[in-house]
């Protein structure tokens, strides 16, 4: 059983750094030095005169073996390892670039947080050059691999977008983008990739706002597929991020027409595919009760808005040509006649979040079934 003591001496010569390591090996039984490897590595990160530094190293080694170190303005660090079994070690020279890169890898890893699925999330913030970043990234991936991590998410803020090319070359791919960041991801293990795809659906709403006279609130758009066609349609819009369907329906009606309303039910919904940048689409038909009647149209999106008798609305030629529109009109008519029940929003909580959300259900039917 052999043990060794490692001495590390680091000298500063103007702008050059010289690091020398040598080892003394001892045998436990006789406690005598058997062998000395005087020089393991010499590192010249930015040397213009390596011969001078090599000579200085040799002079230092000779001096160190006599246990005298007299060089002025030197800084010495001595580290003693814990006892361990000796392994064969290469004494071949290490290039300055590889040694510097290895030092960076030993000293620093990317800061990360664990996700719920065995992966890590990295949010970069501090600028760094691509070479340094790649060295730290490789060391970090090796570290995460040893920990058994799977997916690696790197959130790249817009001011660090120059690092995107380096990440792609290291095997990362684009997952999604927002106005202020780009998200890239990688899969570490050899097992099948289970990273979820980017958001797959867009959510839209259509508002059926009908008053006591069976008049429906309709609009004409100045953009989109109905622009210039003279078609009157329900107010429609897209649900914002973090916005509930019932809230979005009321908001869109107010923004487009100035009419205040109260959400009552989701009457039906439709799913379609390849609609917006190859994404799928969820479209909810909502019933709203008007709280005001005065119309103030939004000129940016609309050519006009009015209250129209429901029978006149359904008599438009386009309504007879579209199976989807005919289906929607039949649902709305059945609701007006009291022959149809939709889904009302019921406030509830989840075990996974403290936020309130809505479960849309046929509350009346559920109430009857429980009575």
> Which segments of the chain does DSSP mark as H helices, in order?
50-65, 96-107, 130-146, 164-169, 245-257, 310-314, 317-321, 323-336, 363-370
- Which one of the listed residues 165, 178, 243, 255 is annotated catalytic? 255
Where b means 16+ CB within 10 Å and e means fewer, 175-199 reads beeeeebbbbbbbbeeeeeeeeeee
DSSP 292-356: -------TTTEEEEEEEEHHHHHTSHHHHH-HHHHHHHHHHHHHHTT----BEEEEEEETTEEEE
φ, ψ (nearest 5 deg) of residue 46: -145, 55
Verify whether residue 255 is a known catalytic residue.
yes
**Residues annotated as part of the active site:** 255
């Amino acid at each position: 059983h052999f043990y060794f003591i490692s001495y590390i001496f680091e000298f500063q010569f103007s702008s050059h750094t010289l690091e020398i390591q040598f080892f003394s090996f001892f045998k436990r039984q006789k406690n005598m030095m058997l062998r000395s490897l005087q020089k393991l590595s010499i590192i010249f990160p930015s040397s213009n005169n390596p011969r001078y530094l090599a000579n200085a190293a040799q002079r230092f080694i000779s001096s160190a073996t006599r246990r005298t170190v007299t060089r002025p303005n030197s800084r010495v660090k001595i580290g003693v390892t814990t006892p361990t079994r000796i392994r064969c070690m290469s004494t071949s020279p290490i290039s300055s670039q590889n040694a510097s890169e290895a030092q960076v890898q030993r000293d620093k890893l990317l800061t990360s947080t664990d996700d719920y699925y065995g992966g890590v999330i990295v949010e970069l913030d501090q600028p760094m050059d691509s070479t340094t970043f790649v060295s730290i990234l490789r060391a970090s991936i090796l570290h995460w691999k040893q920990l058994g991590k799977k997916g690696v998410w790197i959130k790249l803020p817009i001011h660090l977008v120059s690092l995107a090319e380096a990440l792609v070359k290291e095997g990362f791919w684009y997952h999604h983008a927002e106005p202020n960041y780009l998200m890239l991801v990688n899969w570490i293990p050899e097992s099948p990739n289970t990273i979820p795809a980017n958001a797959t659906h867009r959510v839209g709403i259509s508002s059926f706002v009908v008053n006591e006279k069976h008049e429906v609130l309709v609009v004409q758009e100045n953009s989109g597929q109905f622009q210039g066609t003279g078609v009157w349609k329900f107010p429609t819009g897209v649900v914002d991020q973090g916005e509930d369907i019932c809230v979005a329906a009321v908001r869109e009606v107010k923004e487009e027409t100035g009419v205040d309303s109260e959400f009552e039910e989701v009457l039906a919904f439709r799913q379609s595919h390849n609609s917006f940048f190859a994404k799928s689409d969820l479209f909810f038909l909502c019933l709203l009760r008007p709280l005001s009647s005065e119309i103030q149209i939004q000129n940016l999106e609309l050519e006009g808005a009015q209250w129209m008798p429901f029978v006149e609305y359904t008599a438009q030629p386009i309504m007879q040509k579209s199976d989807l529109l005919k289906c929607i009109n039949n649902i709305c008519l059945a609701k007006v006649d009291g022959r149809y029940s939709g889904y009302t929003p019921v406030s509830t909580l989840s075990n996974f979040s403290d936020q309130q959300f809505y479960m849309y259900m046929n509350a009346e039917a559920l109430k009857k079934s429980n009575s």
